[in-house]
Each structure stands twice: as structure tokens, then as C-alpha cells.
Amino acid sequence: MPPKTPKQPGHNRSFLNQETVSPGGSSSSTESPQPGGATASQMAAPSLVRVKQEEEDGGESKLSRHSHHFKVKFPNDKFRYTIDCDQPHTVLDAIKLHLNEQFTKMEKRKNYSDEKIIIQLSDVVKQSIVATHFPCSCIQNDECLIVHFKNQEVEEPRSQDDEILPREQYSVFYISKEGGEKAKKTTLFKNKTVKEFDYLCVYAKKGTTVKEALERDGRFVDFQDFKLSEDENSKEHTLCTQKVDKLDQKKFKICLERRRSDKVQVSNKQPVSVNKAKDESGSAGNAGTMNRRLSEQIQDLIKLMEITLPGDSYQRALELKKENFGKIQQSFSEVHRVRKLLQLGKSVCKLIVQDVCQGTGFVLFDRFILTNAHLLNKRVEGNKLREGTNVYALFNYEEPEPHTDYHTFTAEKTLIDFDLKLGYAILELKPEDQKQNQAAETAKIPPGLLSEFGPPPANGEACLIGHPAGEVKKIDPTCIIEIDNRGQAVGQQLHPYKDKLFVVQSVVEALKQQGIESTLEGGCKADKVVTDNTFMYHGSSGSPVFDVGCRVFGLHTAGYCYGFPEISEKKQSVIEFAQPVLTIFESFVRNLHASGNKELLDRVEKAAEGNSDLQDAIQSVVGLR
């Protein structure tokens, strides 16, 4: 039910906070707070370009009495700025109009655009965000907005030519970052960055359908069929074809319709050995019964990895793979990009855990190295390497023996950070402790890659630099595998063996024991890692993963391997994955902040200067200091 009409004409009320203005000027809220401090209101929802002016008694326009104020601040800026708004605008236009100097500086950045901006409601907690085209009058008085600048578009460009209507003709509702039924691990948003916040605040003219509202918003991916389930009552559903009229101030989760592949019935029976199948059939020659029992189990394979692709979809998948690989070859064959990758690759080193294993790492900043935790897992006690454990970092190991133009540094025994859950470790090198049997007498630790950190792209080209199998440094251009394509990608790897029923069954069981289901669509880690296909298996753990712009977005972590002894002694991988480096960085900063290591935290903040993604991560953990 829409809010009641104000008793006194001209008393503007916030779109998100219904207030009763007392004679003394004070106000009291009559609605419970919504995410980000926003509550129901009575104000019109104006646009900068087209404004509908309704005449009141005496010909006075309601527009002329538009008057409210709110505050704005920017990450890493200790000041708050007051916006006294006397004309209806979009939120972004209102801020730009009053804070032109700040935005002029931002617009000088090469990658700046309005679509890369996120506007956060309230600075108390990270709860909800609005689109840049959200009407300014929808913001309550004294609300504080935080403007975040990202390196990728978070909403689609749109024309702001909508007619402005009174508040009661709009519905404002909230979409949770967490998906509902069939959408928990599905990509819902144009950019994953919005998932730093709990809700996306959406506004729409009444009479608009839910689907039209989300399409117009510009931050959501395109859904064919979906519905909304209420946060407080998950059994209450709203179809995407329904009107938004009754959704005002409610909170929802997006639920997807059941797809055909979801309807496959998966057998719950335990794996049956070949001998047991023979026994149950009463005869080893009764192949029909044995095949039937094994076929029941292979349904797991059908659902999990889509090996039996319908029709010509497998051929289409191969053609698409060739097309993508062609793009990768083109992107990473451009001389300027190769030159930059080679320069950045100087920071990549071969890591040797003496008498244990070999892997890869890279300089984070100064003399700190980022690598995978599992390289050190069995050799760490507390925050220190076990007695007798030595770790060495070899730089410039790019030519095979007898060339020895590499230089080696020893790692300190005390670890800077160690996180098995996210799978990373940060070591400190001793610059004065170098191996003496190297060609170059002295060498410096190369520059770090921290300043090149960025968010993982949803798809597209990628490139790894590392030391697979402890060999010389190698580069592998590859392609990101989207969440909903991972099952098919695994199926492509195993498709050549589809006729070897018993062999494939053993491979499936081995992959499941390794935890591959957690990474595939619907798994608990599906949206927390980035997947790709790369030839760089063992020894490349800890390699940086670059996007097509040569920014580091991932720490190559592991993959899911299988082997056919009767075919090849070499193990193969069906899919590899990387941890997003921004997630790792935020965890690192959080741990430093919790430990009270202010000196190192200050060094990290200094190293992060000029990178808005890193500064946002620091801001989210430690706030303004």
C-alpha cells in the first residue's frame, strides 16, 4: 500500500524515509529502516532531462519547492561534502553539479566513465547501493553517500530521459546480493563488485513489470525467466511478469526457473564395483544387468560434467573454443602487450621449499612474496617455518642449464601471512642473503605487482606466467571459463574417453573426491574462484594470472587432475582455478589490522596508492584513519 499523502502541500519527504515534520522543525520516522538506512518516503523521483511540472493553486510549480540536502564522501578522503539540492537531478548529476572539482580530477583518468561508479547508501555499514540514475530526491535528508570508482563498468549506459513522477507513482525495492532458489551460485550482476554490498536498491514506475525494472536498472544480467522470493518469507514469490506496484520497500532474492539439465535424476546409489555387478547378474556374461547398474551411476557424470552433450552441441562447443583461442592468440600476440607481460614477468620467481616441493611466487611489493599456502602447509608451525625448512626464491630463471644467470634469495623463517582457507602465503625475502654461485654478483628484488591488481573479468582472455614442473619460466595464454560453462568445459576434456565406461567412472569418482563439485555451477566455491584451462599444472601454483589489460586478477592455485595409466603416464587436468587477488589483499589487510601491525599496514597503504580497487579494499577494512 502506498504511503499516505502529506497533509501539508510542499512538505517534501524522502523517497526512502517517511518523515513527519513537526512545527519546531524536527522530524520522526514512521517506517523501520531499510538497508543502508533508507526508509519509505513521499518525494517525487525526478530526472535531469525531462521534468513533469504539475501546477498547484496560483500556478506555482511543485518543482520550484524542491529542496533537500544530503552528504557525500569519497574513499580515502577524510572530508564530507554537503549537497544543497534545489533542483531535481539524478544522484550522480546532483553530486557532479556541486562537486565539479572532484569529478574533473576523476575524469582525467584514462579509464574513467560514469558507468564505473558505485554509490553506496549510508556509511555505517556496507548494506545497499543505488544506480547512478537514482533520483536525488529519493535520498533522505542528511543521508551520507559514498562514491566508489571502479575499473570496470558496473551498470550499462542509459539515456536519462524519463519523465519525473510524484513519489506515490514509484515502487522502491531491494534485491539481495545472494541468489535464491537455483540462483545461489549463478552470475546475477554485470560486475561482481556489487556483491561487496548486501542489497541493490531498485526503483521503478508503478505499472512496470519486475523484468522491465531490472532490465532498466542496468546492473543485472539478462534473465529469461525468474521470480523474486521475499527475504522474510521465502514462500512468497513474485513472478518477473508481475507489476512492481506492491513491492515498495520490500527485500527480495532472485530465483531462477528450473532448467532442463536440472531435471536429470541423479542416482543416490553407492558406486558398484565391476565384480559386484557381475555377482548380482549371476553371470559374468550377463552384460545387460552390469551395464544397467553402471549406467545408473553414470547419471552423475551426465549432470556433473555434461559428457553426453545433446545433438551437435559438442561440436559447437569445440568451434567456440577454437574461436576463443583465436581471440587469445590475437590479443596476446600484440607486441606492446607481450613487451609489458615480459616486463611484469620479471617479478615472477621459482620457489623452492628445500627437500619438499617446488612452485611459483611473485613479488607483492618491496621484498614480500605472494604464493600458495599448500606449498608450505606441512612445513609451518604457527606463523613460522619448521626448524630445518628453507625456502628460496629464484628470479630470472628463464634459460635452461648450463645457463645460470638467475639470482636467489632466502625467505625469512617468520611468515607475514598464512591462510589455508584462501590458499595463500606471504613471505619476506632477505635481500642481503643471496646465493653466491650465481652469474650476477649482486641483484635487486624486482618491483612488485601489487599496483597492477584488479578485479577478475567475468570472461575473456587471460594469461599465466610461472614455473610449471619447476622448469624455466613460461607464459600460457588461456581463456576464462564462466561459471555456467564449467561443467561443459570438463566434459570436453573427458569426451574422447566417453566410450570407455569403466575408465570414465573411475575418473569421475577421483574428481569428486578432489572436490570438483564445489567449483562447478551451484557449488559452494563457484563464485569465489576464477577457472581456466591451462597446461601449467604442478609447480605453477602461485603464478599470477593477468587479464587482457595486463592487470593481475588471480593467484593460480590448483586444478582437478586425472590419469589413464594405460594411455599415458602424464596426468591431465580437466579444469584449473585461481583465487581473486583482491580477495586475498582484503584478507591480508584485515589480518594486519587485527594484529596491530601499524608499521607494515602503513607500508601496504603506501604501496596501494593510485590503485582505486586496493584503496577501496583498505577502506572497507580499516575505514578512514
Cα separation of 574 and 486, whole Å? 10
| pTM > 0.95 | no
Amino acid at 146: I
DSSP state of 123: S
Better-scored residue on pLDDT, 338 or 7: 338
Cell numbers that stand for 585 in this block: 589483499
What digits encode the pLDDT tens for the residues 70-89? Answer: 899 887 777 889 988 888 88
pLDDT at 279: 47
pLDDT at 405: 80
Report whether pLDDT(61) > 50.
no
Better-scored residue on pLDDT, 40 or 184: 184
pLDDT at 350: 95
Least confident of 160-174, 311-325, 386-400, 430-444: 311-325
Amino acid at 277: A
CA distances for 415 relative to 162, 249, 379, 565, angstroms: 56, 48, 11, 39
Cell numbers that stand for 159 in this block: 539515456
Cα separation of 600 and 316, whole Å? 52
pLDDT at 550: 93
Q: What percent of the chain has pLDDT over 90?
A: 32
Among 99-108, 157-166, 187-196, name the most confident range: 187-196
What digits encode the pLDDT tens for the residues 449-491? Answer: 999 999 998 888 889 999 998 899 999 888 898 888 888 888 8
Report whether pLDDT(596) > 80.
yes
Among 179-183, 231-235, 275-279, 552-556, name the most confident range: 552-556
Cα separation of 559 and 82, whole Å? 51
What digits encode the pLDDT tens for the residues 504-563? Answer: 778 888 888 888 988 988 888 888 999 988 877 677 899 999 998 899 999 999 888 887
pLDDT at 174: 95
**Rg over CA atoms, the chain:** 28
- 352-379 burial by CB neighbour count: b if 16+ within 10 A, else e? bbeeebbbbbbbbbbbbbbbbbbbbeeb
Mean pLDDT value across residues 104-130:
79
Cell 537455483, residue located: 182
Residues 6+ away with beta carbon under 8 Å from 373: 418, 419, 420, 422, 423, 424, 425
Mean pLDDT value across residues 590-604:
94
What digits encode the pLDDT tens for the residues 375-393? Answer: 998 899 988 999 999 999 9
Cα separation of 202 and 214, whole Å? 8
Write a three-state SS string for 37-56. Answer: HCCCCCCCECCCCCCCCCEC
Least confident of 304-313, 410-419, 551-560: 304-313
> Under a CB-based contact definition with an 8 Å cutoff, are residues 428 and 411 in contact?
yes
Write a three-state SS string for 252-286. Answer: EEEEECCCHHHHCCCCCCCCCCHHHHHHHHCCCCC
Residues 6+ away with beta carbon under 8 Å from 594: none
Report whether pLDDT(420) > 80.
yes
Mean pLDDT value across residues 118-143:
83
What digits encode the pLDDT tens for the residues 92-103? Answer: 988 988 888 777
Read off the pLDDT band of 289 (50, 70, 90).
low
Cα separation of 210 and 123, whole Å? 29
User: Please, what is the average pLDDT of the chain?
Assistant: 77
Cα separation of 3 and 187, whole Å? 34
Query: Where do the domains of the chain lie?
Result: 19-256, 306-583, 584-622
Least confident of 311-315, 527-531, 575-579, 619-623: 311-315
Read off the pLDDT band of 294 (50, 70, 90).
very low
Cα separation of 365 and 67, whole Å? 49
Report whether pLDDT(625) > 50.
no
Cα separation of 479 and 339, whole Å? 20
pLDDT at 25: 38
Cα separation of 151 and 92, whole Å? 17
Dmax (CA) of the chain: 99
Q: What is the DSSP string of 166-191?
A: -GGGEEEEEEESS--TTTTTS--BSS
What digits encode the pLDDT tens for the residues 240-287? Answer: 999 999 999 999 999 987 654 444 343 444 444 444 444 444 444 455
Pairing of strands 144-149, 81-85: unpaired
pLDDT at 502: 72
DSSP state of 539: T
Q: What is the dihedral of CA 318, 324, 329, 330, to 10 degrees?
A: 140
pLDDT at 328: 56
> Under a CB-based contact definition with an 8 Å cutoff, are residues 251 and 35 in contact?
yes
pLDDT at 124: 62
Among 223-237, 334-348, 361-375, name the most confident range: 361-375
Report whether pLDDT(407) > 70.
yes
pLDDT at 31: 42
Report whether pLDDT(234) > 70.
yes
Mean pLDDT value across residues 321-347:
74
Better-scored residue on pLDDT, 623 or 228: 228
**CATH number for the domain whose boundaries are 306-583:** 2.40.10.120
What digits encode the pLDDT tens for the residues 13-44? Answer: 333 333 333 333 333 333 444 444 444 333 33
Cα separation of 57 and 319, whole Å? 68
Better-scored residue on pLDDT, 247 or 222: 247
Cα separation of 498 and 495, whole Å? 5
Mean pLDDT value across residues 58-66:
50
Q: Which residues pair with 202 in a beta bridge?
A: 173
pLDDT at 65: 62
Cα separation of 249 and 18, whole Å? 11
Element (H, E) at 353: strand 348-353
Residues 6+ away with beta carbon under 8 Å from 110: none
Cell numbers that stand for 418 in this block: 598464512
Q: How many residues does the chain have?
A: 625
CA 405, 411, 417, 422 torsion: positive or negative?
positive
Cell 553414470, residue located: 298
